[in-house]
Amino acid sequence: MRDGFIKVAAATPYVQVADCRANAREILRLIKEMAARQAKIMVFPELCLTGYTCGDLFYQKVLLDGAKEELLHIAKETMHIDALIFIGFPLEYQDKLYNTAAVLNRGEIIGFVPKSHLPNYGEFYEARHFTSGKGLRGQILFGMRLVPVSDQLIFACQEMEGLLVAAEICEDLWVPQPPSIAHAQAGARILVNLSASDEVVGKDTYRRELALGQSARLVCGYVYATAGEGESTQDLVFGGQNLIAENGVFLAEGRRFENSVLYGDIDLSRLGSERRRMNTFAPTNQEGYTYIPFHVTIAPTTLDRKYPANPFVPQDPKERACRCDEILQIQAMGLKKRLAHVGSTQAVVGLSGGLDSTLALLVIARAFDLLALPRKNILAVTMPCFGTTDRTYTNACLLAKKIGATLQEVDIKEAVTVHFRDIGQPLDRCDVAYENAQARERTQVLMDLANQKGALVVGTGDLSELALGWATYNGDHMSMYGVNGSVPKTLVRYLVEYYAQTCGEETLSQVLQDILDTPVSPELLPPADGKISQKTEDLVGPYELHDFFLYYMLRCDYSPRKIYRIASKVFQDVYTKDVILHWEKTFYRRFFSQQYKRSCLPDGPKVGSVAVSPRGDLRMPSDAQAALWLEELETLSKSGNL
């Protein structure tokens, strides 16, 4: 439960129809199993204490009394279970029968939530036995305790802020306006659904879409537990397709036709952050809602949740290919509009033989194709200087040729040497001025060439470099339109790789592959034995770590401690904890200190959910202090709790 996580579980017991005692034993067995896995929210299917398929046996007082007796027995046996438990139960109340979720916590029954929408079509005939609980408000004396009965109950944890849970039952999700909408607007961050949804061809896909879509629309965790094997197969089969979703993403999915317990770690703090961020997620009037307190012990949670090492990059190859093509198209469409707007039929780009300028050239080529402009109107400029290696120079020349751009070489060594003489900079002093003078000279060349031709200078810097401030102010930091500004370095690689795999031209593919294999470097220091001596990741840290930090800081609003915890789990086989902590501190220091460079970025298209444009996504003061963020990491370091 640390860092805002809560472990939830959806369980499908082996039901014996109308045998409440046997079902109670099975439910208790599963509760103990889930408690051993640290689950704090446990959800069982609809009417699981009796079996959903009892039919007219629901008229029998023997069945109803047996269910009541066993629910009280379960409550007694779970006195020491530290969880909020939802069990499907037929409740007799004021001479009517309601299909409810009985809610238990530490040996007490603390609420009954009735089903609002009773299906009475096709294979369903619930209205034959049950009454809709829509609008029901009341209390029932149940086992010597007054228990609220209402379709507007929210269960609020007293120990964990934001842990508010509400329930709906099966068909409630399938109607035009599910109760979960009002529950979420009244504050519930976790919605549970006790279901008994039978299997017919194609229904599983629709069921998945409903649960996933509801979690996305309501910015919530959605826990769906449904009936499985054991229910009567007189006319129906139940598949036990349990689902756990969070804000449009499945955390876990059960296999159909296999009774199981499904676990997931829902991130309550992220859900709260998303709701705060979305001004269109408006809270509703809470009138009519009753908030029922419950208790769980705050304890560390073993995370079962999986986090991708590259959160900006889809893991599925097919999805990744589609995403890469989409991003290239977004970048190209942005540039296409800018070229058309300024009335330019030419573009200038500095081509270094590195990844970022390669991607920029590929995007320019696509934009020119969209505008039906000849690619020879693309001026690719290579500007060798003190740190340029034969490998990158050759690749830049080959790439320009294979793309069909016009290649121009401007050797800037002499110009930079003269500049050093003018400002009194020794040629053998390889400091920041030595490096940045080269970057600024290159930008001046590009701008002046663009002026000569009435062209647009297309920037090459990517999102990761902007986050770290790894750009020379008014050097490679500046352009007339930056196509890579919201593409992180880890994604740049996949975009270039995708182009290499799909371009259909062997030589071009080989050049792109060699560029991918080249170490990332600004090449501003002299080579060592003809090879790149200045490797970016040796200086600022691995981009895969920085992109990971960036995503979870900006997209998820995670704290430094929480990011460190997840990174330590994800990269445990790659980096030591000390190394991760070192580079995370570097990330925060650079992110805060370099905001002034992001405050005056050139225009460029947003392609994903994380961007640092001062005109859109990141309104951050340039002189904000990183002290609180770094202090949290220092505290973590001093505690020895790495």
Distances (CA, A) of 493 to 83, 356, 396, 468: 45, 9, 16, 18
CA dist., res. 231 & res. 19, Å (int): 11
CA dist., res. 460 & res. 81, Å (int): 57
Q: Are 247 and 266 in contact (CB under 8 A)?
A: no
Q: Are 31 and 42 in contact (CB under 8 A)?
A: yes
Catalytic residue among 46, 231, 435, 584: 46
CA dist., res. 90 & res. 97, Å (int): 7
115 noted as active-site residue: yes
Catalytic residue among 48, 170, 220, 556: 170
CA dist., res. 66 & res. 72, Å (int): 10
Q: Which residues have C-beta within 8 Å of that of residue 431, sequence separation ≥ 6?
A: none
Quick one: which of 375, 324, 385 has its CA closest to 349? 375
Q: Are 613 and 486 in contact (CB under 8 A)?
A: yes
92 noted as active-site residue: no
Quote the tokens at residue 226.
């449904």
Catalytic residue among 115, 336, 489, 597: 115
Strand 96-105's sheet: what is its strand order? 137-141, 146-150, 108-114, 96-105, 84-93, 41-43, 5-11, 261-267
Name 137's bridge partners: 150
- Note the Cα 527 to chain centre separation in Å: 40
Residue 306: phi, psi to the nearest 5?
A: -100, 135
Q: Which residues have C-beta within 8 Å of that of residue 168, sequence separation ≥ 6?
A: 113, 115, 116, 178, 179, 180, 183, 191, 192, 193
Instruction: Report the C-alpha dihedral over residues 164, 170, 175, 177, rounded to 10 degrees.
Output: -10
CA dist., res. 310 & res. 312, Å (int): 6
CA dist., res. 159 & res. 557, Å (int): 22
CA dist., res. 469 & res. 477, Å (int): 9
Q: What angle do CA 355, 356, 358 make, to 5 degrees?
A: 65
Q: Please, how many CA atoms are within 13 Å of residue 520, restricted to the half-sphere of its CB?
A: 21
Q: Are 526 and 387 in contact (CB under 8 A)?
A: yes
User: What's the burial of 232, exposed, middle or buried (CB within 10 Å: 0-12/13-18/19+)?
Assistant: middle
170 noted as active-site residue: yes
Quote the tokens at residue 516.
């991918």
Q: Are 318 and 326 in contact (CB under 8 A)?
A: no
Question: Which residues have a catalytic role annotated?
Answer: 46, 115, 170
